[in-house]
Amino acid sequence: MAVCTVYTTQSLNSACSISTPTKTHLGFHQKQVVLDSTGKITSKKGSSSSSCVITCSVDHSQTVVIGLAADSGCGKSTFMRRLTSVFGGAAEPPKGGNPDSNTLISDMTTVICLDDYHSLDRTGRKEKGVTALDPRANNFDLMYEQVKALKSAIAVEKPIYNHVTGLLDPPELIKPPKILVIEGLHPMFDERVRDLLDFSIYLDISNEVKFAWKIQRDMAERGHSLESIKASIEARKPDFDAYIDPQKQYADAVIEVLPTQLIPDDNEGKVLRARLIMKEGVKHFSPVYLFDEGSTISWIPCGRKLTCSYPGIKFSYGPDSYFGHEVSILEMDGQFDRLDELIYVESHLSNISTKFYGEVTQQMLKHSDFPGSNNGTGLFQTIVGLKIRDLYEQITASKTAAPLEATKA
């Protein structure tokens, strides 16, 4: 038997004689329920009647939770599109719900945006003089309770932060998916939330590159001026350094994006150097390697089998240390001229968790229009997507072997 907490705006079963639920955050009712050994909700805690059976039952297979952290405009949405594509099916906002919902649902995955846990709306932040990156503008208690509930296969009513109006909208129902991705500014900030993650990723985009991407998007697509983009990046920097960047030390995989080293003093920012930093010893995750696991390798694949124009392509691989952790780092500097030739590189990588020869190349070709498809950013995002699929399959296989353990809250 296990006890868990459900957050809802509605009564679960009005026929049950239970005490009035407590009012908690944002008008939610908090109810403690008791799960039986199969993971079904049998009664509300404290109910006088043991026959008070709540009509909803839950799928007791545990949800796998993935955390994706990055600053705004650093490629989270692009990464999510690559990840959901690995699992097949398109990700869409909840049907018939709030058109400004930040949630994306596909057959296997639900992606929730942690901006929905802003406790202060745009006006509130302005009045208090805090940014959205400041922990005081976010409700970590609710984030923790809801991620914990979803991980225990219990649906929640999650608030919505409306990016169009800057207001907190009425909540939306989130049912426990097979894979829950929590993406945003703070998935690894709160220790309690961090401990719920089965795998975590940090997108570490260097300032120069972040600036180039912001200009491209916010000037071209959103009509912002160069000055206002600069000012926004500067205004966010102290809180970014204090609260967002330090989360990378907790990540199981970090994708670092830097200016190229192949062009001396490059200031165009078009050619990128991407580094995939993979922690050793993470359960259900074995780092990718190039040629020979644990060796230090430098490889320039350009020549007969890979077409490269200036400045070429260089791969590196080897063991290293990152915030005191043992890691393996795979690096790619430069960009592909012909994406179909990526198969040559793929055939030299091991532990990439593909289901068939050429799957990485196939995924990259399928999304050749996504930003980063001609360089290491897209390649490493695709590989991490495949590693997450593998992790999910390993976790579900181990749960099948011990079903009762997985139902405990």
| Beta carbon of residue 257, minimum distance to ligand ATP (angstroms, whole number) | 7
Give the count of beta carbons closer than 10 Å to the beta carbon of residue 271.
20
Q: In the chain, what is the straight-line distance between the N-terminal and C-terminal CA atoms, in Å?
A: 9
Shortest CB 330 distance to ligand ATP, Å: 16
Contact partner, 371, from ligand ATP, ligand 5RP, none, Cβ < 5-8 Å per class = ligand ATP
74 binds, among ligand ATP, ligand 5RP, none (CB under 5 to 8 A by kind): ligand ATP
Contacts with ligand 5RP by CB under 6 A: the residue count is: 7
| Residue 279 binds which entry of ligand 5RP, ligand ATP, none, CB below 5-8 Å type-dependent | none
Any residues with CB less than 8 A from the CB of 393 and at least 6 apart, and which? none
Q: What's the min distance (Å) between Cβ of 132 and ligand 5RP? A: 4
Q: How far is CA 72 from CA 115, 154, 259, in A?
A: 10, 29, 19
Please, what is the minimum distance in Å from the beta carbon of residue 98 to ligand ATP? 17
Is residue 22 within 8 A of residue 54, CB to CB? The reply is no
Cβ 72 to ligand 5RP, closest distance in Å? 4
CA 52 to chain centre: 38
Single residue of 94, 135, 166, 403 touching ligand 5RP by CB under 6 A: 166
Apex CA 391: angle with CA 388 and CA 392, to 5°?
85
Distance of closest approach, residue 354 Cβ to ligand ATP, in angstroms: 21
Question: Which residues neighbour 51 within 8 Å (Cβ) at sequence distance 6 or greater?
Answer: none
Out of ligand ATP, ligand 5RP, none, which partner does residue 311 contact, by CB within 5 to 8 A per kind? none
The entry of ligand ATP, ligand 5RP, none that residue 75 binds, CB within 5 to 8 Å by partner kind? ligand ATP
**Residue 122 binds which of ligand ATP, ligand 5RP, none (CB < 5-8 A, kind-dependent):** ligand 5RP
Which listed option, ligand ATP, ligand 5RP, none, makes contact with residue 314 (CB within 5 to 8 Å by class)?
none
Q: What six digits make up the tokens of 335? A: 């960009």
Q: Does 122 bind ligand 5RP (CB under 6 A)?
A: yes
The answer for 103, left when phi > 0, alpha when psi is -120 to 50, beta otherwise, is beta
Q: Which does 259 bind (CB under 5 to 8 A by kind): ligand ATP, ligand 5RP, none?
A: none
Q: Is the dihedral of CA 373, 375, 378, 379 positive or negative?
A: positive
Structure tokens belonging to residue 19: 């005490």
Is 246 an interacting residue with respect to ligand 5RP (CB under 6 A)? no
**HSE, side-chain direction, 13 A CA sphere, residue 82:** 31
The residue among 72 and 362 lying less far from ligand ATP, judged by its C-beta, is 72
Comparing CB distances to ligand ATP, the nearer of 328 and 373 is 373
163 binds, among ligand 5RP, ligand ATP, none (CB under 5 to 8 A by kind): ligand 5RP
Closest CB to ligand 5RP belongs to which residue? 132
Cα(335)–Cα(332) distance, integer angstroms: 8
Q: Which residues from 64-83 bind ligand 5RP, rule CB under 6 A? A: 72
Q: Among 252, 245, 211, which residue's Cα sits nearest to residue 228?
A: 211
Burial group, residue 136, by CB count within 10 angstroms (0-12, 13-18, 19+) = exposed
Report the C-alpha dihedral over residues 163, 164, 166, 170, rounded to 10 degrees.
-80
Choosing among ligand 5RP, ligand ATP, none, which partner's interface includes residue 316 (Cβ < 5 to 8 Å by kind)?
A: none
Among 23, 163, 230, 338, binds ligand 5RP (CB under 6 A): 163
Q: How far is the CB of 94 from ligand 5RP (least distance, A)?
A: 19
Q: Residue 242 in 3-state DSSP?
A: helix
73 or 171: CB nearest ligand ATP: 73
Q: Is 372 left (phi over 0), alpha (psi -120 to 50) or beta?
A: left
**CA 118/CA 102 separation, integer angstroms:** 13
* Interface with ligand 5RP, residue 132, by CB under 6 A: yes
Binding site for ligand ATP (CB under 6 A): 70, 72-78, 213, 216-217, 371-372, 377-378
Does 348 contact ligand 5RP by CB under 6 A?
no
Q: Give residues in contact with ligand 5RP (CB under 6 A).
A: 72, 115, 122, 132, 163, 166, 185
